[in-house]
Amino acid sequence: MKHILIIVMLLVGWALPTFLSNGCNPRTHIYKRSQLLMGTIVEITVAARNEQKADEAINAAFKEIGRLETIMSTYKPESDISRINSAAGLSPVKVHKDLILAVKTSLQFADISGGAFNIAIGPAIDLWNVTESEDIPTPAELAVIRPLIDYKNVIVNEDDGTIFLTKKGMRINLGGIGKGIAADYAHKILKTNGISSGIIAVAGDLHAIGKKPDGSKWTIGITHPREKDSTVAKVHLQDSAISTSGDYERFFMKNGVRYHHILSPETLYPSKGFQSVSVMARDSTTTDALSTAIFAMGPENGIKLIEKLEGVEAVIVRDDGSIWMSPGLKDNPEIKIELTPTNRYPLPQGEGKGEGG
């Protein structure tokens, strides 16, 4: 699960329109609506000429996200993904084409990240159960489930429209990519409904449509991992997405150690090396998957992956509080980074200095 970023869009009100006197179109208003979907608050903001037009587009986007939830949620026993998990080791399951695409895409990100992004990590997620328990699994318990974690045992048959988990006890979980997929589907729906300016926020996965009506970029605050209601940076972006993975919302402390929900497929323990990883790219599916993967990989391998991927940028807070920004941000016309002046995290010498964009 991604964590909620502080949205700094200078919008007034929760559901009431804001008149943009300085916009290029004096009849354009901004409308914002929210709904509980996919186990989190989904917030959609659009610029439209009237409330009816805005509501039609936003409601269609909410409906689309709700449809995806019925397919991809592990909390719904009737969902396609739950049926796949129930049939693990027994038989292939015919599923919706959108889940075929989601799983196929997930396996591609697994290959890109050397297995750090792994939808087959479901048994480990269930064993740790970070949100409900503060019990640390024993090495023996982790050894039992380790054979069930290999993502290469997830078989997608596009011709038959089926997915098969080859070992009994396997469980796939799209928590590291599902909300990004939902944001992208909602983005498409809004565009189809004539929205050319807006932003979709599915927890910590955000997708910006165009610019604000006044011509400025949308502004997103990257949450400070250790200071609630503060930011480490502001990101100004257009026609781009951002996702953040962090260790600061779903976790527990024991004997001075922070145990969070982002597990390393290699160790099956919470990943080390980062407090938060924010990834920016053209679509939310990419940013969601890569923020999870990079966090799981750790600093050395995670930063190497970012540096070799075209069209992908990142702002990373390491365990020691230092900030790393990908060099490409300096020359990216669609993204600008502004470090929060009051934050206590210094930039390390020789890395990511200055503003992007």
Is 203 exposed, middle or buried (CB count within 10 Å of its CB: 0-12, 13-18, 19+)? buried
Higher pLDDT, 208 or 335: 208
CA atoms within 13 Å, Cβ hemisphere of 330: 8
In DSSP notation, 186-209 reads: HHHHHHHTT--SEEEEETTEEEEE
The sign one gets for the Cα dihedral 14, 19, 22, 25 is positive
Q: pLDDT tens, 111-164?
A: 999 999 999 999 999 999 877 788 899 999 999 999 999 999 999 999 999 999
- Residue 276, pLDDT above cutoff 80: yes
Radius of gyration for the alpha carbons in the chain, expressed in angstroms and rounded: 20
Give pLDDT, residue 251.
67
| Single-letter amino acid, residue 259 | Y
pLDDT above 60 for 109? yes
CA distance between the termini of the chain: 28
Domains by residue range for the chain, with CATH: 80-165 (1.10.3980.10)
The answer, yes or no, to whether residue 4 has pLDDT greater than 70, is no
Distances (CA, A) of 330 to 264, 273, 338: 31, 25, 11
- The residue with tokens 């992004």 is 117
More confident residue, 21 or 271: 271
Q: What is the DSSP string of 282-318?
A: SSHHHHHHHHHHHHHH-HHHHHHHHHHSTT-EEEEEE
Q: What is the pLDDT of residue 13?
A: 30
